Each structure stands twice: as C-alpha cells, then as structure tokens.
Structure 1
Amino acid sequence: MMASSAFGANPVPVLDVRNLSVVYGGVVALQSVNVSVLAGQMVSVIGPNGAGKTTMLAAIMGRLACHGDVEVLGRNQSQCCVEQRVHQGMSLLPEARELFASMTVEDNLLMGAYSRHAQGFRDHHGTMKEVFQRFPKMKERRTQLAGTLSGGERAMLVLGRALMAKPKVLLLDEPSLGLAPLIVREIFRIIADLKRSGVAILLVEQNARAALQISDYGYVLETGKVVLEGPSTELASDQRVTETYLGGSALKSRAGT
C-alpha cells in the first residue's frame, strides 16, 4: 500500500524494510514486517507492550540478528554493522535515553557528530548551533554535566545528539515515555519540525493517540505482525484502533499539532 499520495505518485522511500523477521531461541518476535518511510514523512508504529516494536527498531538499526532487507536510499544495509548504518544516515533514539553522565551537554552533543567527523566532515560547530536553536535549554546547560539534567532535558539532549549526525532517517523509540505532558508536547513539536525539514522519521510510540496525530502514515503491530496499516487519519477512525488503542473514541482533529 502506498504511504501517501501527497508524497508523489511513485516516491522512493528513504527507509524501506521488507520481510523483516527476528527469532529469539525458536520464538518468532517479528514475522515478515514491511515498513517504508519517505523523505519528510513521519510514520508511526503502534501496538501493545510486547508486540515487537522495540525489537523492530533494533533490528532495523543492526543491533539484532534478523532476516529480511533494510534499505536506506536504495542501499541494502542487511550486511552492515551499526556504525556503517549510521554512516549511511540512520540514527536511533533508544527508549533508555542513554547519555554520558559524567560529560557535559556540549561534549555529549559532540559525540553525536563522531560518525560525520570520521567520514571527514568538519561541520559540527554549525550543526551544534542548529541544535541549540531547536533546544535553547541545551545552550543554557552546555557546560552542565549530563547526569544532572532533568528527565525532559535528558530527552532533549538525546534527540539533539542524534541530530548532530545529520540523519536522513530517524528511528524514535517511545520519545514520550515518562515525560510530563508539557515536555511531551515540546518534544513532539520539535519532531514535527524535523519532518518538515525533510528528515524521514519512524516513530514507535505507546501513546497511540499522540502518534497518529503527528504522523502521516501508521502501522499497527501485534504479536510481531503488521495487522493494520494506512494513512494516520484513517487508522485514527478505524473502529478496531479506536476501541483498542484510543480509549473507544476516534481522534476529532489533527489541528494544533
């Protein structure tokens, strides 16, 4: 199924995942999952705990052994390690929000530019200015140790660090987890801005309502299989989705997101 007619008749996906399967000790965690994301598109994956959402992101990023094909801009990544996939333009924001706690905010950001620096790029100062424009609090905290930041600030720093790599496709694992509603709205606003700048975004999110509000297209993952997919507005009004994931009522509007 085509992701969205708004992206052209035959758009080429930035990220194209085909027949992705993961098996743990004989147990099938993912089975023949197909997902694609276009440039400037946000695609959400929703589903219950244990459905395989985080496993899917880890497999796409090369952190788990899997079967199937993962392509970035037409280049097959299936035989590439994590570092090589980062070089190709992939960045993953894991649910754990791991930081170098004993390093400053600025040094954590510089670590995010390591891949580009290793490839010969020397544009990290300009990229850091862009990150500080998106996250003014990070500029205020630039000399502060990352381990002393609040939960919301840590989430911003993890996202900012990923942006230092200038990703073509951004994989987000539960960016709203454990954050206050005000911080969640700010994080999602920044993610929406990134989409408008042309970054392809694959969003895994337990908050199905918020995910469908800000994404263009969505997949429903249950027990390792895609059981539904379609434009987010259609999924948000689908009876099965509303009853299972949206508390029994369809989304009324996408306005203001």
Structure 2
Amino acid sequence: MIPLLRLENFSVSYGAVEAVHDVALDVNEGEIVTVIGPNGAGKTTLLCAAMGLLPAKGALSLSGERIARPSVEAMVARGVSLVPERRELFAEMSVEDNLLLGGFYRWRTGRRDQKARMDEVFQIFPRLRERRGQMASTLSGGERQMLAIGRALMARPRLLMLDEPSLGLAPLIVREVLQVVSSLRQHGVSVLLVEQNARAALQVADRGYVLEMGAVALTGAARDLLHDRRIIDTYLGIGTGVGNKAAQ
C-alpha cells in the first residue's frame, strides 16, 4: 500500500536549533494516526512543516508523489487541510461565512459545490446549522472547534491534520469532538492528529507515534501503546504520575 502521506528523514530547524529530527511517519488511506508527546517535543512544528508553513529538510510524499517544496497552496491543491491549534476563525464573521471561506480554493478553481458541501458539514455538525447566522465570536469553545474542523472539511480534503483539537475544552466536549474525528473515515477523510491528551488520542487512533525532543521515540498500534508501560508511566498518569497533565 502506498501511504497517503509519507515523511522520511524529515527535519525542521529554527535557526541553528533543530526542533524536529529525522522523523519517519506514514498515514494510510482511511487511517487515523496520532502524534503524542510532552510540551516542546516538536509536535506542532512537525505538523506546520508538513503543511508547508515552515521550511523542512527531508522527503514529503502524497500518494507516492514527492512534493519537492511543500507550500500551503500545493498541499491544499492535493487534498490536505490543517486545523491549527488556535483555530484561527474570523471572529466577526458568521458561521456560514467562515465555512464558505473554507471552500474558497475550490470556488477559485471553478468547482461550485460549496452549498452541497456545507450541507454535508451540517450533517456532521448539526449544531453549526443551528448557529449558521451567528458570529464566530459568540460560539462556545467546543462550537468553535467544530467550526474550525468544518471549515477545513469544506475543501473536501483527503487528509485532515488537526493540531491539539482538545485544547481548552471540557472533557465531555473533548469526547464529542474526537468522536466526530473518528467518524471522518466514513466520509473518506484520513486524519493526522497531534495531541497532548495521550489517552483520548490513542483511543480514537489506529496508530501512534511518540515524539520526544523532536525525534520519534516509539511507534505502534494505538491499542498497544495504550497498554505499553512506558506510555502509561510517562503520559497516562497511572504509573509514576509524570504525565498527569497529558492525561487530563
């Protein structure tokens, strides 16, 4: 099987400081893959570089096609969308207008399917349909995250990259959001999920990568990582308690 996304010897530096070192990572069609690790491990940097927001060394391929110089426009054109950690919504625009902006690239390239796609997004997030006329600034934290994901889905991506979707959300809302993330496979969307909430991420993922100090320290099936003593002790807050924050 040719991976939908493949990173090989992928490294990212800030000046003389290398934040991500020789990462090898695959995401297959129909898969949810999570990258977990402590604060400062390089998770967000890895995601931003994979989206073309930061320069990187190494190889990035999509469905076997090598992308020599990843850029946001090139990645979007090839069916990749990113939901950033801060969500980056247009606060003084309505839910509907935020969604329409998510489909702008398709509109610009002549594909006039925004209304049909918005209806599909509303089926995934019924609450957004109820609030379609509200300003984004009036939404709750969970609703903003739903809008950020919905806006990304307007581009009809094959691969959705999510950066800390649980950030700042109550546990009940985290479960609701991640259940939706899990269901995206049914809509033909693969997911690369960066999360500090290790337990929640591993419960919805197929496979996981543990990033420590910018390098992959461990990888495997998500169900195996959930029961790995190293992960339990460090990230799930059951053993030594070192990772309590990640498990909250």
When normalised by structure 1's length, the TM-score is: 0.91
| Structure 2 residue aligned with 1:113 | 103
| Structure 2 residue aligned with 1:8 | none
1:227 is aligned to 2:229:
no
From 100, 110, 114, the counterpart of 1:124: 114
TM-superposition CA deviations, 1:230-249 (whole Å, max 9, x none):
11111111111110001136
| Structure 2 residue aligned with 1:3 | none
2:93 & 2:188 partners in 1: Cα distance? 31
1:166 is aligned to 2:146:
no
**1:174-213 superposed matches below 5 A:** 174-213=164-203
Identity of aligned residues (%): 55
**1:139-158 superposed matches below 5 A:** 139-158=129-148
SS of 1:106's equivalent? helix
1:163 & 1:233 partners in 2: Cα distance? 27
1:98 & 1:158 partners in 2: Cα distance? 8
Alpha-carbon contact 1:68-1:78 (below 8 Å) kept:
no
- How many Å apart are 1:146 and its aligned residue? 1.0
| Structure 2 residue aligned with 1:215 | 205
1:58 & 1:105 partners in 2: Cα distance? 25
Against the structure 1 CA distance between its residues 80 and 30, is the aligned structure 2 distance closer, same or farther, given a 3 Å change threshold? closer
2:88 & 2:15 partners in 1: Cα distance? 27
| Structure 1 residue aligned with 2:61 | 71
Unaligned runs of 5+ in 1: 1-10, 250-257
SS of 1:31's equivalent? strand
Letter in structure 2 aligned against 1:214: V
Letter in structure 1 aligned against 2:222: S
Alpha-carbon contact 1:40-1:197 (below 8 Å) kept:
no
1:176 & 1:112 partners in 2: Cα distance? 21
SS of 1:78's equivalent? coil
| Structure 2 residue aligned with 1:101 | 91
How large is the RMSD of aligned CA atoms in angstroms?
A: 1.0
1:49 & 1:71 partners in 2: Cα distance? 27
- How many Å apart are 1:94 and its aligned residue? 0.5
- How many Å apart are 1:85 and its aligned residue? 0.9
From 44, 52, 60, the counterpart of 2:42: 52
From 234, 239, 244, the counterpart of 1:244: 234
SS of 2:202's equivalent? helix
TM-superposition CA deviations, 1:101-148 (whole Å, max 9, x none):
111110000000011112221111111001011111111111111111
1:224 & 1:78 partners in 2: Cα distance? 22
TM-superposition CA deviations, 1:21-51 (whole Å, max 9, x none):
0111211101100111011100011100000
1:48 & 1:146 partners in 2: Cα distance? 30
| Structure 2 residue aligned with 1:27 | 17
The structure 1 segments of at least 4 consecutive aligned residues displaced by more than 4 Å after TM superposition are: none
Letter in structure 2 aligned against 1:186: E
| Structure 1 residue aligned with 2:5 | 15
- How many Å apart are 1:72 and its aligned residue? 1.4
Kindly tell me the number of residue pairs found equivalent between the two proteins: 239
1:77 & 1:103 partners in 2: Cα distance? 34
Alpha-carbon contact 1:45-1:219 (below 8 Å) kept:
yes
Letter in structure 2 aligned against 1:99: L
Unaligned runs of 5+ in 2: 240-248
| Structure 1 residue aligned with 2:27 | 37
